[in-house]
Structure formats: structure tokens, C-alpha cells
Amino acid sequence: FFCLIFCYILIKFHHDLLSLGQIGSGNQKAIDALVELIGKPQMDNSTRWQAASSLGEIGSGNQKAIDALVELIGKPQMDNSTRWQAASSLGQIGSGNQKAIDALVKLIGKPQLDDYTRRLAAFRLGKIGSGNQKAIDALVELIGKPQLDDYTQRLVASSLGQIDPGNQKAIDALVELIGKPQLDDYTQRLVASSLGQIDPGNQKAIDALVELIGKPQLDDYTRRLAASSLGKIGSGNQKTIDALVKSIGKPQLDHYTRRRAASSSEQIISEEQMPSVVTKLKDYLSPEIYKNDFERFHNCYEVIWKCAQSMPYPAFYQAWHQ
């Protein structure tokens, strides 16, 4: 009987705690109650975990909630599950908050931290640390560690691609990573995609993608992603155009990759580059290629048609007959 009563009280307590997280974002009374609950030394881990979770739902931008979660993360005796939840909640409510960023930076640097919590902290840091150099430095340091597992490496690469598009340190880290010969295909794809989200015109990123797209052993899907990224950041860049035009004409590439290269070329080609592109691709518009490889014929036709619409007729005529 007493056991039944105890279970009933415990269930009701957890239900009331859960309700605090559903009251509404920014309710100071609810936040105060949850903060007080988190700080009680005798509180069991399950309750503390739930309180941390609720703060992540209603404490957006609230300094008192952020301070409580930061303190919770820093406690050495805290169990991994609660620390993970505190880091997750901090990443939900601490956007741009230096104290929250500092706590996550410190957390991912701990050598004894479990992989699961480190991944989450790195992911959340990418969400709340936009443009923050301290956050970028921590992620760059983390991605450079040789013992880092593949999954964490991918999350950090994704975060670096989002945190500050024009940050050269983040770009350098991604370029270095994509050049590693032992890099797995999935991470390589993710880095290729991340490089397409950065500062347009960045030569170091363009060079890395051009080198990647030229690798004969590269799988088709990664090559398509690299071509797509070049179409986003390589506007007017001669090295980019040369790599994409070369890809369009390669018969050993699959149709989708050649189509992506053609599409990216159409997006970024400048008028000054059009004559040379017409000259390079015109030979693919032959009856033989039309008959035996219509997809390649069509891709080349689309790019040449784009040029023809923009070039004066005398310039197009000269390029065609060169």
C-alpha cells in the first residue's frame, strides 16, 4: 500500500514538472521554479533531467535559465544523460549568449567527455555560435583531432559550414579535411556541401572543390555535390568553369553528374568566358554524339544555347568556327 502511494506521488510530481515546461515560453515563475529544482543537491537525476529539458522549452534567452544550465553542465559529478540534456537545452535557448557558448566550448574540450555528448555540444555550438570566433576556434580544434570518430567529424564539418560563411579559419579547416585521403565518402560529401554554403568567390574553397571533382576514383554522388557547390560559390571563376566544362564532356561520368555540371556552368558563366566555352563544347554537337550519347549532346547544347542568347552574333560565329 505504501509503495503504491509513493509511486502515485512520484508520478504526480513528474507530471507537474512536465507541466511547467508546457506553461509557455518566457514564464518567469515557471523558470524560477525549474531553476530552483535543478539546484537542489538531493534531487534525483531523472527529475533534474526533466527540469533541464523543460528549461530548454520555455527559457529562450533567459539569463537565469542559461546560468542554471551552465552550472549544471560544469558539475563534475553529473551523470552523462543529464549533462547531455543540459547541453541540448542550452543550445536551444542560448543563441548568441557568450556564457552559453563558453560553456559548450569548455564541454567539447573535456578529454573524458563521452562521444554522444561531445557530438551534441558541437552541433548546438554551430547553432548558437554564429559568427563567434571562440566557437569557431573550438570546432576547428575539434575537427583537427586525429582520434575523432567519423560521426562527430561530420557534425563538426556541418557546423563549420553554417556558423560563419566567410570565416577563413573555418574554410581552411574544411579544405584540409576534404583533402585527407582516408576520409570516408559520407564525410567527403558533407564537406563538399558545406563548402558550397560559404563565402562566394573564396579561391581556397574553389581550388579544393575543383581538385575533388577531378579525382577519377570519386563516386558520382560526391562529384555531383562538388559540382553543385561550385555553381554556388564559383561565379565567373575561370578555374571553376574549366573544371565544369571538362566534366560535361566526360563520357565515363553518369548523366546526372554531367547534367549538374552543365547546370552549374549555366549559373556562373560570365560573358567574357562564353566564347571559349562555345569553342570547347561545339564538337559535341555532332550527328554521331546525337545518335550514340544524346544526353551528352543535350547538356552541351543547353550550355551553348545559354551562351548564344547572351553573345553578339559575330562573337558567337567566331567562337563556333574557331
- Per domain, the residue ranges of the chain are 81-197
Cell of 236: 565567373
Tell me the average pLDDT of the chain.
Answer: 89
Q: Give me the amino acid identity at 140.
A: V
Asked if the model's pLDDT at residue 2 lies above 90, the reply is no
Cell of 140: 576547428
Q: CA of 154: how far to CAs of 35, 129, 132, 193, in Å?
A: 34, 18, 20, 11
pLDDT of residue 22: 56
pLDDT range class, residue 21, cuts 50, 70, 90: low
- Name the band, by pLDDT with cuts 50, 70 and 90, for residue 239: very high
Other beta carbons within 10 Å of 10: 13
For cell 559535341, name the residue: 284
* Residue 12 pLDDT greater than 50, yes or no: no
Which long-range contacts (C-beta less than 8 Å, at least 24 apart) are formed by 19-23? Answer: 20/51, 20/54, 20/58, 21/50, 21/53, 21/54, 21/55, 21/57, 21/58, 22/57, 23/58
Say which amino acid occupies 126: G
Residue with cell 562527430: 152
Q: Are 97 and 128 in contact (CB under 8 A)?
A: yes
Q: Which CATH superfamily is domain 81-197 in?
A: Leucine-rich Repeat Variant (1.25.10.10)
Q: Which residues contact 194 (CB under 8 A, 6 or more apart)?
A: 157, 158, 160, 161, 162, 174
Which tens digits make up the pLDDT trace of 108-149?
999 888 889 999 999 999 889 988 999 999 999 999 888 888
- The model's confidence at residue 11, banded by pLDDT at 50, 70 and 90, is very low
Residue-level pLDDT at 253: 92
* Torsion angle, alpha carbons of 214, 215, 216, 219, to 10: -110
Distance from chain centroid for Cα 316 = 41
Beta strands in 60-175 (DSSP E): none
Around Cβ 127, how many Cβ atoms within 10 Å? Answer: 16
